Structure 1
Amino acid sequence: MNQLPWHAEHWARLQARRQRDALPHALLLCGAAGLGKRAFAERFMQGLLCKAPAGGDPCGHCRSCLLVAAGTHPDVISLSFGLRKDGVQRSEIVVDQIRELSARLAMSSQFGGWQVATIDPADAMNPAAANALLKTLEEPSAQTMLLLLADAPWRLPQTIRSRCQRIEFHLPAAVDALAWLQAEGVRDSAAALTAAGGNPGLARAWALEGALDRRLEVRKDLAALAAGRGQPVDVVKRWLDNEPAQRLWFAAQAVADEVKARSGESTGPLASAMDVEGLGHWYSAVNRTRESLRGPLRGDLLLLELLAQWR
């Protein structure tokens, strides 16, 4: 299977533990979105269940591999956002889901080997669900593997984190990330990598979906509002209709560039009338707003307050 270059060290260590029959019963795979945690987990799960793995990779031909590929392997359990009684998708993982998972894992493997359960995103478990998972983590069944995936592991209780072997994916060196993007045929690789904050996976995805144009639009919107042109409510509507969280990411980048320009005693690209301290406060407000979009508050009001402050 193709391996992302920045996965190699983690993969080698995990397979060495497997060779020593020293695998943990729970892995916490964490790090920024776009670094391939889910591909890593899928690869590891397939190799663990495969009857003839090579270097930890699945053969792709045995009965287990074929069932995994078809999504019908009886010893593979995937847990994510469920549905409420009214059919609407939940925004968190709830205690009933964890109890059902624990009951399933308490049963013997149908194929007589490993049972692998994936909780993704694990950082979406509510407190009751996280507490319910503790018993399974503390008293795991034999040959049971729990894979917890989290973009924001700090949202998990310490009691959960301390009972998992942590594999943390960090941003690769810029030169390595750029080389990988170029090998993948990504146009404007350097610009895409800058837009994604050095994250090569996000850079590739964003380049393919036209995010670089969106980044330019955000800067134009902020410059226009700073100059007194346009209305915040019009900008809010456009941002809210098309990747608002990503636009806020780009807004934070633009303000950071403005601050850097001020430190060099030149006019920034946004020509804001704010001083450096004000820009710093607004930068923090952007990141708080981006985080708040995950919650129940109205996105239009959050964005309107933010952009009114900018203007």
Structure 2
Amino acid sequence: MLPALTPWQQRAYVQACEALTAGHFGHATLITGPEKIGKRVLAEHLAQRVLCLTPRTDGEACGVCKSCHLFASRAQMETLEVRPDGSPAHPWGHSAHPDLYFLGYEINSKTGKPRSEIVIEQIRALTEKMGLTAQLGGMQVVIIEPADAVNWHAWNAVLKTLEEPQPGRYLWLLSSNPAQLPATIRSRCQRLEVRLPMQQEALHWLQQRGHPDALAAEALDAARGHPGLAAAWAAGDGLALRREVVKDAQALLRGQADSVQTAQRWLADGRASERLAHLAEFALREAMGLTELAATRTLAARFDAANRARDLLRTPAREDLVVIDALRMWR
């Protein structure tokens, strides 16, 4: 079974369902929203509805047809691939449903590690899949996540698919940074946005998940109102890691820590990217309320350096040098 939709996912889902019912839901849709806000869960709920062979009178999936049974089977499959940052991702070609395709980071056959981008060979394979007749006689759905990772050469192949839509085919692009997508792609897609909820709604949701009030409030504040991040941090050691990052940054500012040694420690457990995200958030928080231009510029440079380092960690660049450069901004 798919995870239940959160209130903020439900709002986007209802919007999409209304467009589907009215026949206004286009061939290609760009589903946007912050990381960990639940874009993929939303897309999978929509896919189950679209692929159902005998939908109910309200348009929802029946849960008993062959498509629904296959969809339930694929929902229970173990994820066999991870993103470069270690988080799970749907692998290409591992859907138990013959008309549902996921396109994400693929394992590089030469290195045995996930690629840092989605390449043109994957898009070409996708195009071939979409050219085939739906095996169950219904619709076909392709979900590309993260769309931000599609490289520029591959976008040309995607553009051809967008310019020559076929009936009964849906292409959904999931992106946390839609501005990074080519304008030619964005202009050819409808947009469905998953927005952050109001603080009280997010706090109530965290409490319903069993997090104590004080912990939920601290996590939500640290995540700047993002319930997905707050839930992940409250359930694990994310808040402790954040406190550690702040402590390290303050030690660097006072000259009580060394950038090289700190970088080595950050890289030792494979969570450097997560620490850099906390570092960027700390810089942003420190900049709030400042009126001095020089200080604001310094913190903006630190914020940019931390985010740039996160991006570089997805490339073949030397990880130690990348993290050291970001930390040196705090000396």
Same fold (TM over 0.5): yes
Q: Which has the larger radius of gyration?
A: 1
Structure 1 residue corresponding to 2:252, chosen from 225, 229, 254: 225
- Could you say which residue in structure 2 is the equivalent of 1:61? 64
Structure 2 residue 307 is the aligned partner of structure 1 residue 305: no
The 8 Å contact of residues 225 and 231 in structure 1, kept in 2 or not, is answered as yes
Per-residue Cα deviation, 1:150-185 (whole angstroms, up to 9, x for no partner)? 122222111111111111222111121111111111
Identity of aligned residues (%): 41
Correspondence list, 1:2-81, <5 A: 2-54=4-56, 55-71=58-74, 72-81=96-105
Answer with 184-193 or 281-290: which moved more: 281-290
The 8 Å contact of residues 80 and 93 in structure 1, kept in 2 or not, is answered as yes
- Could you say which residue in structure 2 is the equivalent of 1:212? 239
- Could you say which residue in structure 1 is the equivalent of 2:81? none
Distance 1:261 1:115, change over 3 A: closer
Distance 1:275 1:29, change over 3 A: closer
Structure 1 residue corresponding to 2:174, chosen from 107, 125, 149: 149
Structure 2 residue 114 is the aligned partner of structure 1 residue 112: no
The 8 Å contact of residues 10 and 167 in structure 1, kept in 2 or not, is answered as yes
**Separation (CA, whole Å) in 1 of partners of 2:52 and 2:203:** 34
Cα displacement (A) at 1:99:
1.5
- Could you say which residue in structure 2 is the equivalent of 1:250? 278
- Read off the aligned partner of 1:300 and give its amino acid letter: D
Per-residue Cα deviation, 1:95-115 (whole angstroms, up to 9, x for no partner)? 122122112212211221101
The 8 Å contact of residues 44 and 56 in structure 1, kept in 2 or not, is answered as no
Cα displacement (A) at 1:42:
0.4
Cα displacement (A) at 1:229:
2.1
Distance 1:56 1:296, change over 3 A: farther
Cα displacement (A) at 1:193:
0.9
- Could you say which residue in structure 2 is the equivalent of 1:296? 316
**Separation (CA, whole Å) in 2 of partners of 1:262 and 1:26:** 43
Cα displacement (A) at 1:259:
4.1
Structure 2 counterpart SS, 1:130: helix
Structure 2 residue 188 is the aligned partner of structure 1 residue 185: no
**Separation (CA, whole Å) in 2 of partners of 1:90 and 1:141:** 29
Per-residue Cα deviation, 1:73-92 (whole angstroms, up to 9, x for no partner)? 22112212223342443221
- Read off the aligned partner of 1:95 and give its amino acid letter: I
Structure 2 residue corresponding to 1:83, chosen from 98, 103, 107: 107
RMSD: 2.2
Structure 2 residue 120 is the aligned partner of structure 1 residue 95: yes
**Separation (CA, whole Å) in 1 of partners of 2:20 and 2:188:** 18
**Separation (CA, whole Å) in 2 of partners of 1:162 and 1:49:** 26
Where do 5+ consecutive residues of structure 1 fail to align? 265-273
Answer with 102-111 or 227-236: which moved more: 227-236
Distance 1:276 1:166, change over 3 A: closer
**Separation (CA, whole Å) in 1 of partners of 2:141 and 2:289:** 51
- Read off the aligned partner of 2:225 and give its amino acid letter: G
- Could you say which residue in structure 1 is the equivalent of 2:162? 137
The 8 Å contact of residues 43 and 57 in structure 1, kept in 2 or not, is answered as no
Per-residue Cα deviation, 1:41-91 (whole angstroms, up to 9, x for no partner)? 000001111134344443332211111222322211221222334244322
The 8 Å contact of residues 44 and 57 in structure 1, kept in 2 or not, is answered as no
Structure 1 counterpart SS, 2:329: helix
TM-score under structure 2 length normalisation: 0.83
Structure 1 counterpart SS, 2:316: coil
**Separation (CA, whole Å) in 2 of partners of 1:118 and 1:306:** 34
